Amino acid sequence: MCKNPTELTAKAAVTILRSHFQSTMANSFRVSQFRSATPLSYGVFALLGLQIAAMVLTLLLSLGLMVSPDWSLDLDDGTSMPVFFMFVGMGELLRLVAFVLTVIVFLIWEHRAYSNLSPLRAEDLDSTPGWAVGWWFVPFANLVKPYQVMKEIWIESDPEYDEELGHLASTMSAPAIFGFWWALWILYNIGSRIVDRTFNTDSPDYAGLAIGEIAVNALGIVGALLLLLIVKDITERQNRRNERIQTSYQAVLPPPPASFEPAG
């Protein structure tokens, strides 16, 4: 029986569109095998947790410095130093160590996540796994490009892709959490530099330092929590997308040939 002409026309249009997208949306890199970023995400979670704990500790110690700036220790040179000021410095040292470790593991995770976009059949990508990491170290570009890369990873990891149109994402925009995270990251870095540069060791303003530390660490805590949620979401989306691709692949495989046994 002849099929409906309208249905045939629609299928032909879909075939043409798929062919067009797949021929014009090639990536500048190719990775053949999907490797789940889940193990790396656990490392990111643990280190972000350590960093958050260090920032919470520093925030509380800064409150102590603001409330009790007169609780001090006498130094050998005849001067005195607030006890909470020394504690804040120790908290900042712990945060710095946690931050460096977090950056290393996060960038490895990001490289893996971007590499996975190739076996996940995402097309027309704007970057490469190397540049997904490299943009963080390029002055001025690092104010925008890392944010764009993270959004691209999220969008192109869409498990609800349109298979008829060449695995295109079902949505072309990332949720608002990305914008909030990036704004907090920028504000945190600006605030940290202001606090560091305005504190004068010759005539220290401990109350001002405490207020600055409280504000900066509050921004950092919320930003780190948002990044944790983003890493978790991207990792889960990639795993679900890979499962769907594998299921679709298994569904189109031809059945194994029937076994032949000669008549005895």
pLDDT tens-digit map of 150-179: 999 999 999 988 776 667 777 778 999 999
Give me the mean pLDDT over the 236-258 stretch.
Answer: 77
82 versus 248: the higher-pLDDT residue is: 82
Q: Do 26 and 174 contact (CB within 8 A), yes or no?
A: no
Burial label, 167 (beta-carbon count in 10 A; 0-12, 13-18, 19+): buried
pLDDT band at 257, cuts 50/70/90?
low
The reported pLDDT for the residue numbered 225 is: 98
The reported pLDDT for the residue numbered 207 is: 85
Closest Cα to residue 72, out of 64, 82, 84, 59?
Answer: 82
Q: CA neighbours within 13 Å on the CB side: how many for 99?
A: 15
The string of pLDDT tens digits covering residues 138-158 is 999 999 999 999 999 999 999
- 74 phi/psi in degrees, rounded to 5: -80, 130
Q: Is residue 51 pLDDT above 90, yes or no?
A: yes
Maximal C-alpha separation, the chain: 107
The reported pLDDT for the residue numbered 69 is: 77
What does pTM read for this prediction? 0.82
